[in-house]
Structure 1
Amino acid sequence: MKLAKLPEPLLEFGSGTHVCPRTGIEQMSVYDKKDELRRTELRIGVVGRGEGVDLLDDWLRRCRNGIERKKKSDLKNLFRGFGGISQTHGFLTRFINSPNYTRTLRKSDVTQVVLLGSRTQRVEKAVNLYYEQVRFLAENRTVDVIVCVVPNEMFDSLTGSTNDNDDEKEGRAIEHNFRRLLKAKCMHLGIPLQLVREKTIQITAYSGEQQDPATKAWNFVTALYYKGNRTIPWRLVEDSEKPKTCYIGIGFYKSRDGETLSSSLAQVFDEFGHGIILRGTPVSIDKSDRRPFLSEDQAYDLLTGALEEYDRALEQMPARIVIHKSSHFRETERAGFSRALSDKGIRSKDFVTITGTDIRLFADTNYPPERGTLMTMAENEGVLYTRGTVQFYKTYPGAYVPSPLKITVYEQDSSLEAICKEIMGLTKMNWNNTQLDGRLPITLECANKIGDIMKYVGESEKPQVSYSFYM
């Protein structure tokens, strides 16, 4: 066994590099300022009841002006103030929202949803209520992203535990989830959605149980910027000595009723974090461990389709492929993936399984092991802490004891340490979170979110390929 501490991966911004997304944007502005096609104005559509629309107006106004950091903490790098939204600083854009881009829900319609006796009925009614207003904005207004403000009492009625006798009598096993259903139903309209509770943006509602307002603003504005602009606010620093690499995450999801076979997903990312989503075919379930797996032909078809999308987007094939899975690679999968790479003339490959583990390391301090701690157990196997003490924050920024990841490499052409460095970098490519210590690489982080929504997209419907429609 060998212990090593991997360096914190650098991110590239508009005029320099840094380890932290918030500090990088604040001091060096967004990376995509170099893109001539980026928008310097983002039009924000809004759907909500009157009180919710007013709350969002106040919240956006506060975000534009900037928000001071958490005053009761000395951790200045962790709790960084939000510098505001303007065309001359940070995000280099401005958010435009107005009554022309707003659709207001009637209070009577909201009340009608809340009073329905079955949660299934409440979810379906709420989805249709929002969908009609989202559709109007998408078809009649030029908006880049639509914020759906959900009333607190409606949110509770859609998500809380209830005694829904009607559902029990009908024996409904079909899963109903408001957020997933709404995003799936609106997907064909081509405008990303951002859902937010009234409670979340209520300025007076901050308590120790919620994020501080500045952190909340960082995450909210970054997500809106990414969804509205379809470009990236930061990217991984390019290593000119490495071959051009394509990272692919393989995931699975079950149908809503849980009865039919799982289907496969491929999340394809270039080395800078640009990604596309592909839906595969229904797959088989292993009767011994209940895990889904790909046949050789399914693995071949899924990877071939992913590489063709990569080639279409970048007009070239990668020199190296890295495949991430959250389960072990079966012989059929390895054979199918290898055959697809051979057909495309790609020689360098690493098939990587990323799972949890019961193994824990203990530091000689009161803090957990540092993020980036790698314990190598074999040439192709190790334990990696992607969450842990962060030197830049001068603390462990988590509420619970961090759990490391077990990394197992198949068809290995790269060293375990090099692969783990890449995993560390890919944990920082999630536009839903501006804290630098994500646990999973983006290849797997988005798998659950995509699968949760994809199960609501009909087989005859064409799903969106951008992650912005699923996050």
Structure 2
Amino acid sequence: MKFDVVTPRLIHLPEPALSFGFGQSTDHPKDGLYLYGPHKADDRNKVITIGVIGTTEGLEYFRRWGRSVLGDVLVPPPKKTDKEHRLHLSNFPGMPAAFGVSFDPRDFIEYVVDGDKIETTTALQNHHEAVAQTVEVFLERVRHHDENEERRPDVWAFVLPEIIYTRCTRQARRSGVTLSPGEYVKRQKQRSNLPLLEDVIDLTKEDIFDDVPDFHRQAKAKLLKLGYTSQLVRETTLAPEAFTNAHGYPIRGVQDAATIAWNLATGLYYKTQAEPPWKIANMRDGVCYVGLVFKNLPNDRNNHACCAAQMFLSEGDGIVFRGANGPWQTENGEFHLKSTAARDLIGKVLETYEEKFGAPPKELFIHGRAGFSSEEWRAFEAAAPKETNIVGVRIKTTTGQVKLFRDGKYPTLRGTAMILDQNNAFLWTSGYAPRLDTYIGPETPNPLNVTVLKSSGERPDIETVLSDILALTKINYNACNYSDGLPVTIRFANKVGDVLIMGSARGGGKQPFKFYI
């Protein structure tokens, strides 16, 4: 018996460059913003309007943070125990200097929520009701503002007490909390006293069960319906020194103040402006990237799932297209669309692309964690015009199947690729970055397993596919990191799905990506 011997080919892909103001480019978002400003630089300083909802203390924390980020926020001095350079840390030069936008902390649209009220709602006996009522404490302020005020904020910031994170997540155990009955428990007890009707009354058929009991997901879903982007931030992030244990240490470990400033400022800019702060430089014209999203619907007796597509252009920003709900999960745990749903979903993407550019894309890359069924792929091809080459790419994380070791202090370089053949490769999107002179990670990094599965036309070169994936790890506008370990087409699939499956988010065909993060 003969066996084919595969001789892997190792290459190193150059770090993708990003485009900033004045047509300048560099590989680090912080450098680009510090030196040149955002990609769509403006001659005058824009002023954004921020709506802030929180406790009395939370509002003060946000005002104090707002005042601080209008000027320099410095990286803390190195400790004696620091044995390495800290090039991954950067001073924050101030919101106006880095982003060309500003705000007046004295002019925030502010609404106070009662801390005692949050204590009460988070302690309701039914967890679904507890989360829903806690979200409502914040949302009723947003609706009140819409009904009574003409001035519309560019973004809503919810400043969240720590109790919301201990009691209002899906995994919250709420141990040690004295729970109180709410309206749901009272109604349930009333129904139980009607024995003649107990066979026809469904005790779980309540609106509160349409949403997973998670504050973050519910708030995003409901603000999506109201047409608002949002920034959810914990009080302990803004003022860690105000929350200490009995020994005087912060109850939560957080990043340094300069890094927090970079990340929150990037998110605020992205969620208030028409275009993202930076774009990928030197991307090929006429290329579109789509990440498929699947998420099982909560409490669905038919075990149906929601499907969606995240479209990202070479320009950087993204759009989320909601598809049909249906029995997309197969027996082996993978998700595959039926013909009509697949054609409709990709058809929406192509229609939007043509509206923006006046012509269909030359190449449409569809990224997924699984393969594509024959029915699914034929529908994708049927949805696309002949001049568009559709390329199906599977991107899977690995957990130790392949390790590459480097002779030196740090692990293999980010951008290293092991090419097995024209369709298969391993790509290290995490690893030692010379620009940072460090590796941000706990252990020897694992590569992504990349496979070009199908194409309607000529298959692209595997190195081109890998270079594109590496570039897509640099457009996470919810932070200001050098790079991510996953391309944006895969990175946010779960977060987008988490919002889409909420009953509060039902309806609507497409929304900007910035509403989901």
Pairwise mapping of residues 382-461 of structure 1 onto structure 2 (< 5 A)?
382-412=425-455, 413-457=459-503, 461=507
Match of 1:161 in 2: 173
Match of 2:225 in 1: 188
CA–CA distance in structure 1, aligned partners of residues 514 and 361 of structure 2: 24
Instruction: Measure how far apart 1:147 and its partner are.
Output: 0.4
Pairwise mapping of residues 19-418 of structure 1 onto structure 2 (< 5 A)?
19-33=27-41, 40-72=46-78, 75-86=85-96, 89-98=97-106, 101-139=109-147, 140=149, 141-159=151-169, 160-162=172-174, 175-204=212-241, 209-239=253-283, 242-257=284-299, 259=301, 260-285=303-328, 287-341=330-384, 344-357=385-398, 358-412=401-455, 413-418=459-464
CA–CA distance in structure 2, aligned partners of residues 247 and 384 of structure 1: 18
* Alignment RMSD (CA, Å): 2.5
Contact 1:327 1:353 in 2 (8 A): yes
Match of 1:7 in 2: 14
Deviation track 1:219-245 (CA, whole Å, cap 9, x = no partner) reads 110001100113210001134xx4410
CA–CA distance in structure 1, aligned partners of residues 226 and 76 of structure 2: 39
CA pair 227-460 structure 1, distance change in 2 beyond 3 A = closer
Deviation track 1:37-92 (CA, whole Å, cap 9, x = no partner) reads x9811111100010000001111111112211132255343011111112xx2201
Aligned letter for 1:456?
M
Contact 1:45 1:137 in 2 (8 A): no
Moved more, 134-143 or 379-388: 134-143
SS of residue paired to 1:265: strand
SS of residue paired to 2:40: helix
Instruction: Measure how far apart 1:110 and its partner are.
Output: 2.1
CA–CA distance in structure 2, aligned partners of residues 287 and 116 of structure 1: 37
Aligned letter for 1:238?
N
Aligned letter for 2:390?
K
Instruction: Measure how far apart 1:367 and its partner are.
Output: 1.7
Aligned letter for 1:316?
A
Instruction: Measure how far apart 1:457 and its partner are.
Output: 4.2
How many aligned positions are there? 463
Deviation track 1:388-441 (CA, whole Å, cap 9, x = no partner) reads 111100010123432210000022421111100000001101101211220111
CA pair 153-162 structure 1, distance change in 2 beyond 3 A = closer
Instruction: Measure how far apart 1:174 and its partner are.
Output: 6.4
Contact 1:304 1:340 in 2 (8 A): yes
CA–CA distance in structure 2, aligned partners of residues 5 and 416 of structure 1: 13
Aligned letter for 1:196?
V
Contact 1:354 1:406 in 2 (8 A): yes
SS of residue paired to 1:32: coil
Aligned letter for 2:441?
G
SS of residue paired to 1:387: coil
Aligned letter for 1:90?
A
CA pair 238-457 structure 1, distance change in 2 beyond 3 A = farther
Instruction: Measure how far apart 1:192 and its partner are.
Output: 0.6
CA pair 410-346 structure 1, distance change in 2 beyond 3 A = farther
CA pair 315-374 structure 1, distance change in 2 beyond 3 A = same
Q: Percent identity between the aligned chains?
A: 28
CA–CA distance in structure 2, aligned partners of residues 100 and 282 of structure 1: 40
Q: Which entry has the higher C-alpha Rg, 1 or 2?
A: 2
CA–CA distance in structure 1, aligned partners of residues 36 and 273 of structure 2: 18
CA–CA distance in structure 1, aligned partners of residues 45 and 356 of structure 2: 20
CA–CA distance in structure 2, aligned partners of residues 68 and 100 of structure 1: 25
Gaps of 5+ in 2: 1-7, 189-202, 244-248
Moved more, 255-264 or 226-235: 255-264
CA–CA distance in structure 1, aligned partners of residues 337 and 270 of structure 2: 33
Moved more, 282-291 or 129-138: 282-291
CA–CA distance in structure 2, aligned partners of residues 442 and 366 of structure 1: 30
Instruction: Measure how far apart 1:320 and its partner are.
Output: 1.3
CA pair 364-258 structure 1, distance change in 2 beyond 3 A = farther
Contact 1:174 1:257 in 2 (8 A): no
CA–CA distance in structure 1, aligned partners of residues 231 and 395 of structure 2: 29
Instruction: Measure how far apart 1:116 and its partner are.
Output: 2.5
CA–CA distance in structure 1, aligned partners of residues 65 and 228 of structure 2: 22
Large movers: runs of 4+ above 6 Å: 164-174
Aligned letter for 1:451?
G
CA pair 152-4 structure 1, distance change in 2 beyond 3 A = same
CA pair 460-92 structure 1, distance change in 2 beyond 3 A = closer
Aligned letter for 1:60?
G
CA–CA distance in structure 2, aligned partners of residues 287 and 192 of structure 1: 34
CA pair 201-311 structure 1, distance change in 2 beyond 3 A = same
Contact 2:296 2:304 in 1 (8 A): yes
Contact 1:350 1:411 in 2 (8 A): yes
